[in-house]
């Protein structure tokens, strides 16, 4: 078990996995209401009231999403119509000036790049942790480690931000200089000076989402039927071959959805990034240079001194973030839904 929001996207898949392993105890959820209501003789007044109460709550949830979207759009439009720059391509952010000129390009770039680099660092390591806990570690140690990873996933992001700013950032100087010295010929690692850069922010994000992705992947790997693993070993597979033919194919959709959740978390992360990055608004491929900003961090940094247009501009950028994270989540769901058939037939 891990913190619930992280589970949910993977949960559908895991439910599918659970039915595959133990069908009698866990009938497909879709049949249940039909069975549950089959034996009822008549529907009383109180029944109707209660049913409609829960239904209203469900619809209220839809209304909540609509209200969120409407209010964000409403507040964004005023600022967008006053904007003298192009909202999507302008690299400048001065919505409080007159005339206001702002664009989401630089912060969106920072959001995407920092989250992407964080994923590149975190996902392989997280899969390694999950494999270590489920396959390699001795049994007693493994449940204890699973526990620890779950607890680390609950550490608040502001603590990671504090640590990233005060402990990690000073220590990152050496490795950044080294990357620049030896890989400076790649534009990515070319830098005039190094410091609290997008790269440092990415490392903080990577460390932050590591336990989350690892905890979810671990749960998926635990669902792999023991029979599959034993069958592979019985055929003479080495441990790695067993992982390759039994564990990874089975766990793949779960790992992908866990990674996508981590990606969503990394893109939406505010405080850790706001503490680490110096707020600057330019698009630069040199991720080691002390520059960059993300949408979420920009909101946290900028809203204090924002006037009415400024707040509208921040809300508009928040809307962009909302849309991007929603797309990521929908892709994650689609991958899980599409892959489910495969893992289902494999079981």
Partner 1 sequence: MSTATVSGPAVGDTADRLGLRGQSLPRWMPLAVAAGAVVVSLLIYLLTPVDSEIQIVLMAALGFVIAMTALSTAVEGGRRARDRFATTLVYTAFLLAVIPLVAVLVSVIGKGAGRLDAGFFTHSMNGIGARDVGGGIYHAIIGTVEQVLLASVLAVPFGLLVAIYLVEYGRGRVSRVISFFVDVLTGLPSIIAGLFILAFWVIALDQGFSGFAGALALAVLMIPTVVRSAEEMLKLVPNELREAGYALGVPQWRTILRVVVPTALPGIVTGVMLAVARVAGETAPVLLTVFGTNLINSNPFSGEQSSLPLYIYSQAGQPQQSAVDRAWAAALVLIIIIMVLNLAARLFAGRNRLR
Is 36 or 192 the residue whose CB approaches partner 1 more closely? 36
Binding characters for partner 1, 24-63, by CB under 8 A (x = yes): -xxx-x--xxxxxx-xxx-xx-xx-xxx-xxxxxxxxxx-
Is the CB of 241 or the CB of 341 nearer to partner 1? 241
Binding mask 288-317 for partner 1 (x = CB under 8 A): --------x--xx--x-------x--xx--
Residues 265-284 touching partner 1, rule: CB under 8 A, are 267-271, 274-275
CA distance 221 to 257: 13
Give the footprint of partner 1 on residues 83-122 (CB under 8 A).
none
Q: Which is nearer to partner 1, 284 or 332 (CB)?
A: 332
Asked if residue 216 binds partner 1 (CB under 8 A), the reply is: no
242 binds partner 1 (CB under 8 A): yes
81 is a contact residue toward partner 1 (CB under 8 A): no
Directed axis angle between helix 105-131 and helix 295-302, to 10°?
120
- Residue 172 as a binder of partner 1 (CB under 8 A): the answer is yes
What is the rounded CA–CA span in Å between residue 17 and residue 10? 10
Give 121 or 284: the residue with its C-beta nearer to partner 1: 121
Residue 79 Cβ vs partner 1, minimum distance, rounded to whole Å: 11
Asked if 183 is part of the footprint of partner 1 (rule: CB under 8 A), the reply reads: no
Residue located via tokens 């996902």: 123
Contacts of 292 (CB under 8 A, 6+ apart): 106, 110, 113, 114, 197, 198, 201, 277, 278, 280, 284
Coil, strand or helix at 102 = strand
Q: List, in order, residues 6 or more apart from 324 with CB less than 8 Å away.
A: 108, 111, 112, 267
User: Given 3-state DSSP classes, what are the helix, strand and coil percentages for the chain, each rounded to the nearest 5?
Assistant: 75, 0, 25
Identify which of residues 83 and 317 has a Cβ nearer to partner 1 in the complex. Answer: 317
Binding residues for partner 1, rule CB under 8 A, total: 125
248 sits near partner 1 (criterion: CB under 8 A): no
SS3 per residue for 219-232:
HHHHCCCHHHHHHH
């Amino acid at each position: 078990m891990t913190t619930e929001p992280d589970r949910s996207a993977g949960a559908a898949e895991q439910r599918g996995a659970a039915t595959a392993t133990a069908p009698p105890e866990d009938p497909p959820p879709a049949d249940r209401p039909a069975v549950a209501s089959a034996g009822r003789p008549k529907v009383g007044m109180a029944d109707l009231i209660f049913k409609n109460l829960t239904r209203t709550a469900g619809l209220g949830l839809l209304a909540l999403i609509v209200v969120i979207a409407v209010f964000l759009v409403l507040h964004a439009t005023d600022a967008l119509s006053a904007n003298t720059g192009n909202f999507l391509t302008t690299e400048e952010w001065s919505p409080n000036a007159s005339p206001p000129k702002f664009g989401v390009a630089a912060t969106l770039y920072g959001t995407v790049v920092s989250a992407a680099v964080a994923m590149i660092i975190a996902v392989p390591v997280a899969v390694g942790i999950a494999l270590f806990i489920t396959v390699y570690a001795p049994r007693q140690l493994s449940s204890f480690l699973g526990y620890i990873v779950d607890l680390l996933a609950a550490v608040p992001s502001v603590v990671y931000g504090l640590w990233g700013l005060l402990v990690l950032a000073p220590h990152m100087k050496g490795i950044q200089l080294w990357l620049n010295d030896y890989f400076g010929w790649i534009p990515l690692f070319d830098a005039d000076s190094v410091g609290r850069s997008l790269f440092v922010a990415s490392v903080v994000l990577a460390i932050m989402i590591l336990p989350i992705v690892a905890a979810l992947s671990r749960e998926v790997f635990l669902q792999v039927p023991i029979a599959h693993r034993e069958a592979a070993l019985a055929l003479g597979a080495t441990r790695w071959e067993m992982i390759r033919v039994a564990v990874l194919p089975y766990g793949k959709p779960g790992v992908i959805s866990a990674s996508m959740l981590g990606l969503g978390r990394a893109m939406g992360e505010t405080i850790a990034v706001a503490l680490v990055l110096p707020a600057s608004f330019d698009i630069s491929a040199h991720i080691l240079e002390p520059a960059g900003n993300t949408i979420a961090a920009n909101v946290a940094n900028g809203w204090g001194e924002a006037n009415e247009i400024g707040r509208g501009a921040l809300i508009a950028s928040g809307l962009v973030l909302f849309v991007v994270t929603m797309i990521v989540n929908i892709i994650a769901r689609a991958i899980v839904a599409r892959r489910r058939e495969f893992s289902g037939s494999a079981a």
